[in-house]
Amino acid sequence: MSKHSKKHLYTTKQHQKFLEDVIIFFREHSDLNQKPFPIIHSIKYRIKENSSIQEKIKRKILNGVSISEENFYSEITDIAGVRILHIYQEQFINIHLAIVEQIKKGVWCFVEPPKAYTWDPESVIFYKNLGIETENRETYYTSIHYLIHKPEEPTTLCEIQVRTLFEEIWGEIDHSINYPYPTESLACREQLRVLSKLVSTGTRLADSIFKSFSEYTKMKERERHFMASWDLKEIALTNFIPRIFSNIWELGSDPDIAIEILIRNGCNPFIKTALDLGCGKGAILIQLARKFGITGLGVDLISEFVDEARKYARRYGVSSKLRFEVEDILRTVTLSSDYDLVTYSFDSEALGDLKKTLQMLSSTIKAGGYILLDIVYSPKNETQIEDTITEEELELQIDESSLLLIDKQVWSREKIKEVNHKSNQLIFRQIELLAEEYPENRALFEQYTIDLVKECRVTEETLLCSTILFQKIF
């Protein structure tokens, strides 16, 4: 016995160093500790005391397990231990993937496959879908265990336990009563079983709460991006957008500029399929289909615009080539790949900042495919206009992307004024009609008109508008 204890003392520094490395990994992992809602709530850890190891050896011997120097570390595997606590079950996926990534990189090695101890049938399905073996203990013990070692030191082990805060409460109570020897109190055993069911209910309720919060947050974020893309100051105006723009077909991107830049760079023979994100009434996709014979998909959140796009497609005889759908562009990007061309107006951060947006757009096209991006930005050596990217930032983020910049066409001031004048005349007429129809909202409509005039003046006199063509080279 003393020989085993001495050996433990001799190797404590190795275990301590490995334990510290594991703790640092979890503490410094950016994805697991991202504020304001980090996935890891807290970390507990310990090096097993010598007396505890001796007690464990005694219990193993009493259970008929022979302990020798040769099998010591295969039997006493929890000398170093880390416990990762999180709030709700869905967060576990990220923690599990982070551990698996360490294994794939060869930083750690599994001594044995991870195991989830759970009595809950729904949790069994959850863990099995992640490829994790499950086991049901009579005590209703709930936790996920990983046993790892350093590649160069197979006897230096660390046990990682992952559980929710609710499960930790149960675990602490159970440990107080049933460790190192289980209680003989039938009442305590039954109460612990009842508590385990309450814990499971609490964990599921936490999952539901955070899912609802996530959905609400995403809804508000979509709302914010939608308002930014239409230069709206008041949420009450969103319902009137279809009416305000009812007489305008070409919203955002200019089809003539898009076609011109594609022909100028010899891209059109290679474009057979196209995706238009935030397609409005489908003008650019329809004109591309008429000019180049492409097939494609256009998506937009405004159902009235999508209906109009379908009507225009039928009017111009390309409805068999094009499909228009009401869909969140983030979902479309996630599900799309292998297009030859994607078009997008960067008028909000619906897909992230410009660098992230270019990455997302790139994922929708095949190698050799093209991106047509419309963007408004503050020119060099000018005061940055609120809610716009600077020309310096634009160039930097393009340089940091993996895309090849093929061409960049800056819209002339005359072109911008022409487009604004034509659109504003149609918009102002609709605003007048809406003010007559909804007199209680007259002040709202009048303020929108004032804001629109200001926005147009800044765009015409200060900002730069460009259509940029990129190519995905690999």
Rounded Cα distance, 232 and 251, in Å: 15
Nearest partner of 47 among 75, 24, 18, judged by Cα: 18
pLDDT of residue 381: 80
Domain with CATH 3.40.50.150 in the chain: 239-472
DSSP class of 439: G
pLDDT of residue 75: 79
Residues recorded for the chain: 474
Domain with CATH 3.30.460.10 in the chain: 2-210
Please give the CATH superfamily to which domain 239-472 belongs: Vaccinia Virus protein VP39 (3.40.50.150)
143-150, strands of its sheet edge to edge: 42-47, 80-86, 153-164, 143-150, 109-117, 133-135
**Any idea what the Cα angle at residue 12 is, between residues 10 and 15, rounded to 5°?**
135
What are the structure tokens assigned to 155, written together?
């006897």
Q: Is the separation of the CB atoms in 378 and 389 below 8 Å?
A: yes
Q: Could you tell me the pTM of the whole model?
A: 0.66
Residue 147's Cβ-side half-sphere holds a number of Cα atoms within 13 Å equal to 16
pLDDT of residue 99: 97
Backbone angles phi, psi at 463, to 5 degrees: -75, 165
Q: DSSP string of 286-317? A: HHHHHHH--EEEEEES-HHHHHHHHHHHHHTT
DSSP class of 37: S
pLDDT of residue 11: 56
Which positions of the chain have pLDDT values less than 70? Answer: 1-12
Give the burial class of 172: count Cβ atoms within 10 A of its Cβ; 0-12 exposed, 13-18 middle, 19 or more buried: exposed
pLDDT of residue 201: 92
Rounded Cα distance, 58 and 140, in Å: 25
Q: DSSP string of 154-202? A: EEEEEEEEEEEHHHHHHHHHHHHHHSSS----HHHHHHHHHHHHHHHHH
How many other β-carbons are positioned within 10 Å of the β-carbon of residue 116? Answer: 23
Please give the CATH superfamily to which domain 2-210 belongs: Beta Polymerase, domain 2 (3.30.460.10)
Rounded Cα distance, 148 and 101, in Å: 13
